[in-house]
Structure 1
Amino acid sequence: MTTPAWLGIGAQRSGTTWFTDLLTQHPEIGLGTNGKKEQHLLHKVGDGLVPASDYLDLFPDDGVRRGEWTPQYLRHASAPATAARLLGPDVPVLVLLRDPVERFLSAMRLAATRATSPWPYPVPITVQGFSGFYADQLAMWAHHVGRERLVVMVYESVRRAPQAAVDAVWARLGLAPVALTDVDRPSRSSSHATWEPPEGLVESLEVLYRPQVGRLADDWDLDLSSWSLQR
């Protein structure tokens, strides 16, 4: 049975497309054979909608360390147990986390960019609220795959030192570093629309996320000083 060599699980609107583009600059790193960054399959396998072979066959043992990064996996309750069953024992699980308030606003701007209605309401705003519950989501993943498999990175820190962050992941995969290029190239998933939050929404998000951020700092020893809730 084949398996991804690495798996990215989140978080949405936390630079995952940008970081995947950097990660795959290494000549020995690649995506699945269909070339997609996001497969959106682990939870479907777990829910019995598709067979495991539909997923695993995308990652043949061909000498390329292939993987994928689907941000939805972080918040999807069917994905962690499925990953624990399907992934090889040494496969790292990569996570990028962004200031949850900024992440929420970015997600709503992207939804507005893609929407045909004036602004994305009401379902996206509810889903995006839960998407910032990083501490709960990481606890779910750690329970199934083990804390030692999780490589948790802070987006704002990675933006300041992308080469070091990518080098660390390559080293985890047994690869020597290569020099990155086009580090500041805009992501393919950049949003272009504006979206102004309703009065009081940001303050509500700050109250909602403050316990999550505190747990992240304590449980995962992360430097969150760049996040608004920690300043």
Structure 2
Amino acid sequence: MTTPAWLGIGAQRSGTTWFTDLLTQHPAVGLGTNGKKEQHLLHKVGDGVEPEAAYLDLFPADGISRGDWTPQYLRHASAPATAARLLGPDVPVLVLLRDPVDRFVSALRLAATRATSPWPYPVPMTVQTFSGFYADQLAMWAHHVGRSRLHVMVYEAVRADPQRAVDEVWARLGVSPVPLRDVDRPSRSSSQASWTPPEGLLDSLGVLYRPQVRRLADDWGLDVSLWSTQP
């Protein structure tokens, strides 16, 4: 049975497309054979919607460290157990986390970019609120795949030194580093629309996310000093 060599699980609107583009600049690192960054299949296998082969056949043993980065996996309850069952024992699970309030605003801007209504309400707003509950989601993944498999990064720190961040992931894949190119090129998933949060919303999100951020700092040792929401 084949398996991805690495798995990216989140978070949405945290630079995952940009980072995946950097990661796959290495000639020995790539995506599934269909070339997609986001497969959106792991949770469907877990939910019984797709067979295991629909996912695993995308990652043949061809000498390329192929992977999949689908941000929805981080928040999907059936994805962690499915990953634990299908992934090889040494496959790292990559997580990129952005200031949860900034991430929320970016997600709503993207929804406004793609929507026909003036702004996305109410279902996308509810989903995007939950998407910032990083500590709960990481706990779910750690329970199933093991804490040591999770390679958790802070987006703002990665932006400051992308070469170092990518080198660390390449080291986990057993490949030597190469110099990155075009690190400042805008992501193809960048949102274009403007969106003004309703009065008081950002303050509410700060209160809501503060316990989550505290757990990230205390339990995971993450440096969240660049985030607006402080523990």
Q: Same fold (TM over 0.5)?
A: yes
Tell me the residue number matched to 1:131.
131
Q: SS of the residue aligned with 1:169?
A: helix
CA distance in 1, matches of 2:175, 2:53: 27
Establish whether residue 165 from structure 1 lines up as the match of residue 165 from structure 2: yes
Deviation at 1:118, TM superposition (A): 1.2
What letter corresponds to residue 88 of structure 1 in structure 2? Answer: G
Q: Secondary structure at the match of 1:224?
A: coil
1:213 equivalent to 2:220? Answer no
In the TM superposition, 1:44-123 aligns within 5 A as 44-123=44-123
Output the TM-score relative to the length of structure 1.
Answer: 0.99
Residue aligning to 1:23: 23
* CA-CA distance at 1:229 after TM superposition: 1.4
* Equivalent residues in 2 for 1:166-205, closer than 5 Å: 166-205=166-205
Q: Report what 2:140 is aligned to.
A: 140
Please give the alpha-carbon distance, in whole angstroms, between the structure 1 residues aligned to 2:172 and 2:45: 27
2:163 alignment partner, SS class: helix
Distance 1:129 1:119 in 2: 15
Structure 1 segment 217-228 matched on structure 2, within 5 A: 217-228=217-228
Mapped partners of 2:118, 2:155: distance in 1: 29
Aligned partners of 2:54, 2:116: CA distance in 1, in Å? 32
CA distance in 2, matches of 1:48, 1:102: 34
Could you tell me how far apart the structure 1 residues matched to 2:171 and 2:43 are?
Answer: 28
Task: Please say if 1:149 is aligned against 2:149.
Answer: yes
- Find the counterpart in structure 1 of residue 229 from structure 2: 229
1:9 is paired with a residue of what secondary structure?
A: strand
Return 5+ residue gaps in structure 1 as ranges: none
In 2, Cα distance between equivalents of 1:189 and 1:229: 25
Report Cα offsets for 1:63-122 as digits up to 9, x if no partner. Answer: 100001000000000000000000000000000000000000000000000111111111
Query: Which string of whole-angstrom CA distances, capped at 9 and with x for unpartnered residues, describes residues 33-71 of structure 1?
Result: 000000000110000001000000000000100001000
In 1, Cα distance between equivalents of 2:162 and 2:50 = 36
Alpha-carbon distance in 2 for matches of 1:122, 1:191: 19
Q: What do the CA deviations read for 1:127-157 (whole angstroms, capped 9, x no partner)?
A: 0000000000000000000000000000000
Distance 2:230 2:165 in 1: 22
Q: Could you give the per-residue CA deviations for residues 176-207 of structure 1, whole angstroms, max 9, x where no partner exists?
A: 00000000000010000000000110011001
After TM superposition, the runs of 4+ consecutive aligned structure 1 residues lying more than 6 A away are none
C-alpha distance in 2 between matches for 1:80 and 1:229: 27
| Structure 2 length-normalised TM | 0.99
Aligned mates of 1:173, 1:192 — CA distance in 2: 35
The DSSP-based 3-state class of the residue aligned with 1:181 is: coil
Q: Which amino acid in the other structure matches residue 161 of structure 1?
A: D
Distance in 1 (CA, whole Å) between partners of 2:24 and 2:177 is 12
> Any gaps of 5 or more consecutive residues in structure 2?
none
Shift of 1:230: 2.2
